[in-house]
């Protein structure tokens, strides 16, 4: 009986640890990752980056900005002060910034609805891609 209880507790602990390591979806992908998958969300302070150090960060002022490794700005959505609280790579292929929790106030969008790509990423040249659509120029 004791052996069976210990085994059940160990199994439950292992399952909890695995679920914990898998993360909460968007938080794991957005914070310090190299891409966003469909359905992932960036919140203030979250970023994605490439190995060379270029990064796309959703700033607390509501601006989505791409920086080079030396912190020079390469691209910005110019939405600072617009009330953006999150940026989501939607299942329809659009990368959209919202100023509300219920999706009723879009602030900015990549206009990539219907794109067949599967993620938002920054390639080796520092280009941000939303699916198969190039959003920014090179940022090297």
- Tens of pLDDT, residue by residue over 30-47, are 456 889 999 999 999 999
Structural domains of the chain in order of their starting residue, each with its CATH number: 26-134 (2.90.10.10)
The model carries a pTM of 0.76
- Could you read off the pLDDT of 59-93 as tens digits, one per residue? 999 999 999 999 999 999 999 999 999 999 999 99
| Cβ atoms of 138 and 66 closer than 8 Å | no
pLDDT at 26: 37
pLDDT in tens, 85-137: 999 999 999 999 999 877 789 999 999 999 888 999 999 999 999 999 999 99
What is the structure's pLDDT at 102?
A: 79
What does the buried/exposed string (b/e) look like for 113-131 if buried means 16 or more CB atoms within 10 Å of the residue's CB? Answer: eebeeebbbbeeebbbbbb
How far apart CA 46 and CA 87 sit, in angstroms, is 10
pLDDT given for residue 114 in this prediction? 92
Which of 8-12, 20-24, 45-49, 71-75 shows the lowest per-residue confidence on average (mean pLDDT)? 20-24
């Amino acid at each position: 009986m004791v052996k069976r209880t210990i085994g059940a507790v160990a199994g439950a602990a292992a399952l909890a640890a695995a679920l914990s390591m898998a993360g909460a979806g968007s938080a794991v992908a957005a914070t310090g990752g190299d891409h966003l998958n469909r359905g992932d969300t960036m919140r203030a302070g979250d970023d994605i980056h490439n190995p060379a150090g270029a990064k796309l960060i959703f700033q607390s002022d509501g601006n989505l900005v791409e920086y080079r490794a030396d912190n020079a700005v390469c691209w910005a959505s110019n939405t600072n002060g617009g009330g953006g609280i999150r940026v989501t790579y939607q299942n329809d292929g659009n990368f959209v910034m919202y100023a509300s929790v219920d999706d009723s106030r879009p602030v900015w969008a990549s206009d990539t609805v219907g794109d067949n790509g599967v993620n938002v990423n920054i390639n080796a040249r520092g280009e941000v891609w939303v699916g198969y659509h190039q959003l920014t120029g090179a940022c090297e």
